[in-house]
Chains A and B, each alone.
Chain A
Amino acid sequence: MEADPLWPVVALSLKVSLAGVAAMLPIAFALAWALARGRFPGKLLLDGVVHLPLVLPPVVTGWLLLIAFAPTGWLGRPLAALGATVLFRWTGAAIAAAVMALPLMVRAMRLSIEAVDERLEGAARTLGAGRMRVFATVTLPLALPGVLAGAVLGFARSIGEFGATITFVSNIPGETRTLPLAIYSALQTPGGDAQVVHLALIAVALSLGALIASEALSRRAGAGRGGHVL
């Protein structure tokens, strides 16, 4: 078995993670909003379901995705009607990465939404701003650093995604073989040690960079512009 060329693997990983996080961002924000501000029956259950990928064995998450997106599954059937499938495609890897990143994204965003002082929103309304305008000019700007921190954290999680991905979309070079899967393959290849070292170093650098960026953003969110950081 040939060693995978290094950069195409990294590029695929970036593409999968970025696409997954970008597509999941609005969903994660909506869930975070519902959990932070909503009052509805079943909120605890929704909270649990959102956090499920964090505690479920990733192989189970991957298997559930496989069932849902199979040509006869409840998500696969409408896709098949459109002539599309995500099975064994990079898009499927992006879905797996996004689902695994969801709990972390929602947590960070929820905290930042909860940190917004609702009294400021009330003040904005007395000044003539309707609900949408208050959201756009007060709530969102104040929550934004936390929302971005959640997205970056989700990206970091996506880069490392392994179990759900390999279960759901297999390990296909150039299509679904992201960084962790390439490391796994290299480990099983005689003489693949150098490849492992290179890929692992890249994984460490990407993850650490994303974590630091996320932490910097959430500190800024915590301090707000009302604190010491501008």
Chain B
Amino acid sequence: MSFEVTVRRRFASGAEVEARFASGAGLTALFGPSGAGKTSVLAMIAGLLRPDAGRIVVSGETLFDGAAGIDVAPERRACGYVFQDARLFPHYRVRGNLLYGAKARGTGGALRLGEVTGFLGIAHLLDRWPRTLSGGEAQRVAIGRALLSGARFLLMDEPLASLDMARREEIMALIERVRDELGLPILYVSHDRAEVARLAGQVVEMG
């Protein structure tokens, strides 16, 4: 099993998010309408949000277990989180963004900068500032940043949401390659049925 997730969290607003699923290798889509708590589930798996109760196991490693008191710090979970808004560091160039994770972890992981920039087609962007990038370019850099951090699994939060149709097609093809060639388990949040049908081997419905 790649992802084994059982989590529950109540927010100050009174809203409650609950999810329970297990998925195999490849790309699993977390599918549902806006507000169903899909992003909260990703944040809990990444360690950015603490569940009230539950258990999170990824590729056999327990990242959170409320009953056993296990809560691995986000920096030790080795997850590659691709945010909806790319969320690049504005004060680093593309190169600095890509290498941030490798520097923080002190290891480059299995992938090298040259391989990843070639794979994603961003070698020509290395010296640019994030604010000068188009939406599609920024999202590719964000995927590269996640891959280069030595991630053992990927969390993607509607990475196509802020892109136009042509860019969507481009990034979707790229995600297919990441899925097929790198063999990392991917949890992919979306509310677009066509997107999910094309990318996902398995679908978890929420909400």
Show the binding face of A for B, using Cβ within 8 Å: 119-120, 122-130, 133, 137-138, 141-142, 224-227, 230
Residue B87 lies at the interface, judged by CB distance under 8 Å to chain A: yes
Given contact pairs A123-B81, A128-B75, A128-B149, A133 touches B131 in the complex (Cβ within 8 A)? no
A120 to B53, CA, bound (A): 26
Contacts of A124 in B (CB 8 A): 89, 100, 104
Residue B83 lies at the interface, judged by CB distance under 8 Å to chain A: yes
Contacts of A125 in B (CB 8 A): 47-48, 73-75
B129 — nearest CB in chain A belongs to which residue?
A225
* Minimum CB–CB distance for B4 against chain A, Å: 20
Contact of A227 among B48, B75, B131 (CB under 8 A): B131
Residue B77 lies at the interface, judged by CB distance under 8 Å to chain A: yes
A230 to B132, CA, bound (A): 11
Given contact pairs A128-B105, A133-B104, A226 touches B48 in the complex (Cβ within 8 A)? no
Find out whether the CB atom of B91 lies under 8 angstroms from the CB atom of A225.
Answer: yes
Find out whether the CB atom of B131 lies under 8 angstroms from the CB atom of A120.
Answer: no
Given contact pairs A225-B129, A227-B131, A129 touches B89 in the complex (Cβ within 8 A)? no
Find out whether the CB atom of B47 lies under 8 angstroms from the CB atom of A123.
Answer: no
Find out whether the CB atom of B75 lies under 8 angstroms from the CB atom of A130.
Answer: yes
Smallest CB-CB A-B distances: 3 pairs: A226-B90, A127-B101, A128-B105
Given contact pairs A225-B129, A225-B131, A127 touches B104 in the complex (Cβ within 8 A)? yes
Find out whether the CB atom of B75 lies under 8 angstroms from the CB atom of A129.
Answer: yes
A125 to B78, CA, bound (A): 10
Provide a sorted-by-A list of 22 A–B residue pairs whose CB atoms are within 8 angstroms.
Answer: A119-B83, A120-B89, A120-B90, A122-B43, A122-B74, A123-B81, A123-B83, A123-B87, A125-B74, A126-B46, A126-B79, A126-B80, A126-B149, A127-B75, A127-B101, A127-B104, A127-B145, A128-B78, A128-B150, A129-B100, A130-B104, A225-B91
Find out whether the CB atom of A129 lies under 8 angstroms from the CB atom of B77.
Answer: no
A142 to B91, CA, bound (A): 7
**B144-156 interface code vs A (CB 8 A; 1 in, 0 out):** 0110011000000
Residue B130 lies at the interface, judged by CB distance under 8 Å to chain A: yes
Find out whether the CB atom of A141 lies under 8 angstroms from the CB atom of B73.
Answer: no
Find out whether the CB atom of A130 lies under 8 angstroms from the CB atom of B81.
Answer: no
Q: Contacts A120-B87, A123-B81, A128-B75 given; 7 further ones with Cβ under 8 A?
A: A126-B47, A128-B105, A128-B149, A130-B104, A142-B90, A224-B91, A225-B131
Contacts of A141 in B (CB 8 A): 91
* Minimum CB–CB distance for A151 against chain B, Å: 19
Contacts of A130 in B (CB 8 A): 73, 75, 104
Find out whether the CB atom of B48 lies under 8 angstroms from the CB atom of A126.
Answer: yes
Instruction: Among B46, B80, B87, B145, find the residue whose CB has the most chain A CB atoms closer than 10 A.
Output: B87
Residues 64-98 (chain B) with a chain A CB within 8 angstroms: 73-81, 83, 87, 89-91
Contacts of B146 in A (CB 8 A): 127
* Minimum CB–CB distance for A178 against chain B, Å: 38
Find out whether the CB atom of B91 lies under 8 angstroms from the CB atom of A128.
Answer: no
B74 — nearest CB in chain A belongs to which residue?
A125
* Minimum CB–CB distance for A104 against chain B, Å: 25
* Minimum CB–CB distance for B69 against chain A, Å: 20
* Minimum CB–CB distance for A146 against chain B, Å: 13
Residues 6-52 (chain B) with a chain A CB within 8 angstroms: 43, 46-48
* Minimum CB–CB distance for B34 against chain A, Å: 18
B43 — nearest CB in chain A belongs to which residue?
A122
A125 to B73, CA, bound (A): 9
Contacts of B83 in A (CB 8 A): 119, 123
* Minimum CB–CB distance for A195 against chain B, Å: 48
Find out whether the CB atom of B91 lies under 8 angstroms from the CB atom of A127.
Answer: no
* Minimum CB–CB distance for A165 against chain B, Å: 39
A129 — nearest CB in chain B belongs to which residue?
B104
A129 to B92, CA, bound (A): 15
A126 — nearest CB in chain B belongs to which residue?
B81
